[in-house]
A and B are shown apart, each in its own frame.
Chain A
Amino acid sequence: MISIKSLQKVFQSSSGNVQAVDDVSLDIEKGEIFGVIGYSGAGKSTFIRLLNRLEDPTSGEIVIDDNDISKLRGKGLRKARQEIGMIYQHFNLLWSRTVKENIGFPLEIANVPKQEREQRVNELVDLVGLSGRENAYPSQLSGGQKQRVGIARALANKPKVLLCDEATSALDPETTDSILDLLTDINKKLGLTIILITHEMHVIRKISNRVAVMEEGRVVEQGDVLDVFRNPQQKVTKRFVEQVMGDRDQDDSLQEILTHYDSGHILKLHFVGEKTNQAVISEVAKQYDISINILQGKITQTQKGAYGTLVVHLTGEESVIQEAIQYISATSVKVEVNPDAS
């Protein structure tokens, strides 16, 4: 649905040229939540601003639904922008307007008649959960509420795509989660394509289907969120995964664990995109007469299911343990018996 080809952006300044976006090509499917992650200065902000032409590309192509955004000018560009919603880190609301008037602003720009505008604004106020606050001014709202206004405003003209520019970076963790839930909800309810940029892997993990990792203006790695979590290729990606999964070096402590248990078996269970077998531990405990001791684990939820590892210690009769291992191996959970610390 969105096809980006060899996108380049060079900023020219007296102190030399800066290549902010360097040969980026991406294809984004209709209805997916696509995350772009990178540290500050990686070019992700410039990248997302190119998509609605707040920055003009130096070269390359951005095609949204067969419409080449990079070639538009004047009225055509304004029309195209009305079909692209955007939310911002600092919300960018007009303080002189109430919640209702802020949400209605893009409708005024699109010359929607007053009555229709009111109706649409009321729908949106409900959608983002701001009923009762519609006549408040932005200064009377909390950060999370302000971003809800921002989201409602971005959705006013029923856009094809929603761009999120660090939309949760100015919010506390709890509010971040509620805003991410709202975005997931909107994505499901309206089938809206969402492109978001962030420096927090938590955000990617929680709502994205696919992710691209940017470094020095280039996309260095991209793929399904689960694949990237399971098998990060680049150093920068590994660092992002560690933000959520903890440091892989902590597995060193497994060696220590192993030396403490000389009887029974240690199992390392790998959950990858697990949705159906989340009760596997309790099932085993119920069906087999063995005791299960959880030693170490880190499981996280993504849009494609659970991901992580669990280290357990099984004790009991050898034959029963073997049966239990057979049972677990038959599910989609991968089992490593008596794993090496490495």
Chain B
Amino acid sequence: MLRSLFPNVKMADLMEATKETIYMTGVSVLGTFIFGIALGLLLYLTAKDGLWANKILNFIVATVVNVFRAIPFIILILLLFPFTEFLIGTIRGPNAALPALIIGASPFYGRMVEIALKEVDKGVIEAAKGMGAKTSTIIFKVLLPESMPALISGITVTAIALISYTAMAGVIGAGGLGDLAYLKGFQRWDFDVVLVSTILIVLIVFLFQFLGDYVSNKLDKR
């Protein structure tokens, strides 16, 4: 029955593409989580009245974030080709998509991190200071744990954006379900392949959303 509904879908290709999409999304989400938090912390700490209040540094970081957020993703990939080739050694395949995915998503997530950190109760930070805490202790034992549910919700939204970025990257040779839908589906006019790829991408999105909501709720003790 499935055979007759989707005559052109090859199971092996589908499995391979799904694995690649999940791989690209997983690694880039992890990378974005780390770099985004670093950027968000930097934005938050260097802001006026922050623990490392520094007008110049804050301006530089904010400018970099805004510039990278403004570049459309498809152009960012092309722009980063030389950098990717230098870093990964190739511009094709799932690994080659990672630098662009992480660089494209981190500034976006960084702003979300900044917002999440701003929501942390000032009184709690002050209490930690009053106990004699170092800035690193305040970051790792107060700021990050207290904002964790918001950080997780933010990375969930970012992960879903990243899934659609992987599809875009797929079109120019990164592999994954986007690649499958475009090269094996659209270009050969086999729309059943496009349809199945779409369904799988939607399922992956739902999976990430469910996981994100679950973890965020579990962590929230407010």
Contact = CB atoms under 8 A, between A and B. Distances in A.
Residue among A80, A94, A139, A157 facing the most chain B CB atoms (10 A cut-off)? A94
Interface string B125-165: 01111111110010001100110100000000000000000
Taking each of A93, A109, A153, which has the highest tally of chain B beta carbons within 10 Å of its own beta carbon? A109
B41 to A, nearest CB: 17
Contacts of B55: none
B131 A106 contact: yes
Contact of A88 (B127, B132, B133, B142): B127
B221 interface: yes
Contacts of B134: 78, 109
Interface string B96-131: 000000000000000000000000010110111111
A296 interface: no
B3 interface: no
Contact of A81 (B130, B141, B222): B130
Interface in A240-287: none
Contacts of B219: 96
B146 A96 contact: yes
A144 to B, nearest CB: 18
B133 A109 contact: yes
Nearest to B148: A96
A93 B221 CA distance: 12
A317 to B, nearest CB: 67
Contacts of A109: 128, 131-134, 137
B40 to A, nearest CB: 18
Contact of B131 (A81, A96, A139): A81
B146 A94 contact: yes
Contact of A95 (B129, B131, B222): B222
A97 B219 CA distance: 10
A157 B124 CA distance: 18
Given A88-B127, A109-B137, A94 B132 contact: no
B130 A84 contact: yes
A82 B221 contact: no
Contact of A96 (B126, B128, B221): B221
A52 interface: yes
A106 B138 CA distance: 12
B48 to A, nearest CB: 13
Contacts of A79: 132
Contacts of B126: 54, 92
B131 A105 contact: yes
Interface in A279-336: none
A108 to B, nearest CB: 7
Interface in A64-81: 77-81
A337 interface: no
A90 to B, nearest CB: 6
Contact of A92 (B123, B132, B133): B123
A85 to B, nearest CB: 8
Given A95-B146, A96-B221, A137-B221, A54 B130 contact: yes
Contacts of B127: 86, 88, 92-93
A94 B129 contact: no
A97 B134 CA distance: 19
A73 B132 CA distance: 11
Nearest to A96: B145
A288 to B, nearest CB: 59
B130 A52 contact: yes
Contacts of A157: 131
B133 A90 contact: no
B131 A92 contact: no
Interface in A31-63: 52, 54
Contacts of A52: 130
Nearest to A139: B222
A93 B128 CA distance: 10
Interface string B192-222: 0000000000000000000000000001011
The 5 closest A-B pairs by CB, nearest first: A81-B132, A92-B127, A78-B132, A92-B123, A82-B132
22 contacts: A52-B130, A54-B129, A54-B130, A77-B132, A78-B133, A82-B131, A82-B132, A84-B130, A88-B123, A92-B121, A92-B123, A92-B124, A92-B126, A94-B124, A95-B146, A96-B219, A105-B131, A105-B141, A106-B132, A109-B137, A153-B131, A157-B131
Given A86-B127, A109-B133, 15 more contacts: A54-B129, A54-B130, A78-B133, A81-B130, A82-B131, A92-B121, A92-B124, A92-B126, A94-B142, A94-B145, A95-B146, A95-B221, A97-B145, A108-B137, A139-B221
